[in-house]
Chains A and B, each alone.
Chain A
Amino acid sequence: MIHSAPRQGRESTPVWQAAKEGRLELPYCPACGKFEWPARRTCSTCGGETVMKQCAGTGTLLTFSVIHRAVNPELASATPYVVAFVVLDEGARIFTNIVDCDPATLKCGQPVRCRFEETKDPDLWVPVFTPA
Chain B
Amino acid sequence: MTVAIAGIGELPHGKSVGQTAMERHEQLIKLALDDAGLKLSDVDAILTVAPRADSYLIHATAVAEYLKIRPAIAFTLEAGGPGPMAMVEMARGYIEGGSAKTVVIVAADMPLGGLTQNAYIHTLSEVGPVHPDLEVPFGPSVPSMFALVARHHMYRYGLTQAQMGAVALQGRRGAQLHPNAMMRKPLTMEEYEQSPWIAAPLKRLDCAPVCDGGGAAVITSLERAKDLPCKPVKVLGTGFSMGHMHLSASPDLTDFNGGPSLDRALAAAKLDRSAIDVGLIYDCFTIAMLINMEDLGLAPRGEAGRAFASGAFAPGTKLPINPHGGLLSHGHPARGAGFGNLVEGVVQVRGEAGERQVPNAKIALAHGMGAVFATHGCLLLGAA
A associates with B? yes
A72 touches B248 (CB 8 A): no
How many Å lie between the Cα of A59 and that of B137 in the bound state?
Answer: 21
How many Å lie between the Cα of A72 and that of B142 in the bound state?
Answer: 12
B199 touches A65 (CB 8 A): yes
Contact with A along B125-168 (1 / 0, CB 8 A): 10000111111111111111101110110110000000000000
A66 touches B200 (CB 8 A): yes
B136 touches A83 (CB 8 A): no
Kindly identify which residue among A6, A10, A70 contacts B139, using a CB–CB cutoff of 8 Å: A70
Interface residues of B in 242-277 (CB under 8 A from A): 246, 248-249, 253
Interface residues of A in 93-127 (CB under 8 A from B): 93-97, 103, 108-109, 119, 126
User: What are 30 A-B residue pairs whose CB atoms fall within 8 Å in the complex?
Assistant: A4-B137, A7-B133, A12-B131, A12-B134, A15-B134, A38-B246, A39-B134, A62-B253, A63-B148, A63-B149, A63-B155, A65-B200, A65-B201, A68-B199, A69-B197, A71-B125, A72-B139, A75-B139, A80-B197, A81-B139, A83-B140, A83-B148, A84-B148, A85-B148, A94-B248, A95-B130, A95-B140, A108-B155, A119-B137, A126-B138
Question: Cβ of A78 < 8 Å from any Cβ of B?
Answer: yes
Closest residue on chain B to residue A120 by CB atoms: B137
Q: Which residues of A contact B198 (CB under 8 A)?
A: 68-69
Please report B residues at the A interface, Cβ cutoff 8 Å: 118, 121-122, 125, 130-145, 147-149, 151-152, 154-155, 196-202, 246, 248-249, 253
Question: Cβ of A89 < 8 Å from any Cβ of B?
Answer: no
A74 shortest CB reach to chain B, Å: 9
Across the A-B interface, the 4 shortest Cβ-Cβ residue pairs: A65-B147, A66-B200, A63-B152, A108-B155
Other than the known A70-B139, A93-B248, what 18 A-B pairs have Cβ atoms closer than 8 Å?
A4-B136, A4-B137, A5-B137, A12-B133, A15-B134, A39-B134, A63-B148, A69-B141, A69-B143, A69-B197, A72-B139, A78-B139, A95-B131, A97-B138, A97-B139, A108-B152, A109-B155, A126-B138
| Contact size range, A | 35 or more
How many Å lie between the Cα of A31 and that of B144 in the bound state?
Answer: 35
How many Å lie between the Cα of A62 and that of B149 in the bound state?
Answer: 10
A67 touches B134 (CB 8 A): no
